[in-house]
Structure 1
Amino acid sequence: MKFEVKRFDELSTIEMYKILRLRAEVFVVEQDCVYQDIDNKDQKALHVIGWKNENIVAYTRLFDAGDYFEKASIGRVVVSKNERQFGYGHDLIKTSINAIETYYKTKQIKISAQTYLKKFYETHNFKKIGDEYLEDGIPHIAMII
């Protein structure tokens, strides 16, 4: 797995297509969630792309403090279903946290996590804050480090 961090204007059309396809495969098809994925926020984000051979199999988008939440944030965390068995999600989160520290010069991060992934994020030092809520019909919790 090779990771890259790119600004929106650094992404090729092929890369953006592959990112949107992966997000749709997992969030729309696998999780059966109809929502507006293309939300005009990608342009402000840093994009963490996990490549395996020529395929994008892992991805997050990152925001500086104030661009999404009051703290820097990680969102659209996704690993291809066929690749989850290899632990790439942990590599993806570590790379995303490091990218926030490098590009945004902060260690304070807030996420909106699907509730069933609470223990996963806790292994990366995130702590739950507040109550569970529904986001696009899926239970979520806010977490911070």
Structure 2
Amino acid sequence: MEIKTAFGNGNAVYDDSMKIRTAVFIHEQKIDASIEQDENENRCLYYVGYIENKPVTTARVIATKEGTLVQRVCTLKEYRQQGLSSQIFSAIEKDAKSNKVAQVWLFAQDHAQKFYLENGFKVVGDQVMEAGIAHHKMIKKIK
């Protein structure tokens, strides 16, 4: 899988990320389009994984006081269970480490917690609801 990155919106990587996010969050999970995009769209670094030039998995990150915040992690349905999101996270963690970031954190949908636990994250907060979906804050220290 080839991984491309780009900062902010208004570029091909962002557009490809939005195609994946629309398919997964809006069509599949029925999240309202008005809340799927937010005021941070132009402040994030986008990661998109491509198989044979097709965008299939994505995540975005934003620098915070707590470390690198990972958001909008998703993979097209037909490409799941192939380790693609793990590859995206490896790239994110490599970039975080090279930027001397101490930790990566996120709010994981509860149904995806197992994936994050298997990838070294720990649950650190109480359950919160976002877009009608249960989430937990999770953190991974970067070594």
TM-score category, normalised to shorter length:
0.7 to 0.9
1:84-112 CA distances to partner (integer Å, 9 max, x unpaired)? Answer: 1322121122222222222x421312100
- 1: CA distance, partners of 2:103 / 2:13: 29
Q: 1:31 aligns to what?
A: 29
Distance in 1 (alpha carbons) for counterparts of 2:3 and 2:131: 28
Identify the residue that residue 84 of structure 2 maps to in structure 1. 88
Give the TM-score, by structure 1 length.
0.86
Structure 2 gaps of 5+ residues are none
1:19 — aligned with what? 17
Identical counterparts, % of pairs: 25
1:71-110 → structure 2 map (5 Å cutoff):
71-102=67-98, 104-110=99-105
Are 2:58 and 2:85, in contact at CA under 8 Å, matched by a contact in 1?
no
| Cα RMSD after superposing both structures | 1.7
Deviation at residue 71 of structure 1 after TM alignment: 2.6
Q: How many residues align?
A: 139
- Describe the SS at the equivalent of 1:86: coil
Distance 1:17 1:118 in 2: 27
Structure 1: stretches of 5+ with no match in the other structure: none
Instruction: Map 1:122-141 to 2 at 5 A.
Output: 122-141=117-136
- 2:7 — aligned with what? 7
1:54 positional shift: 2.1
Runs of 4+ more than 6 Å apart: none
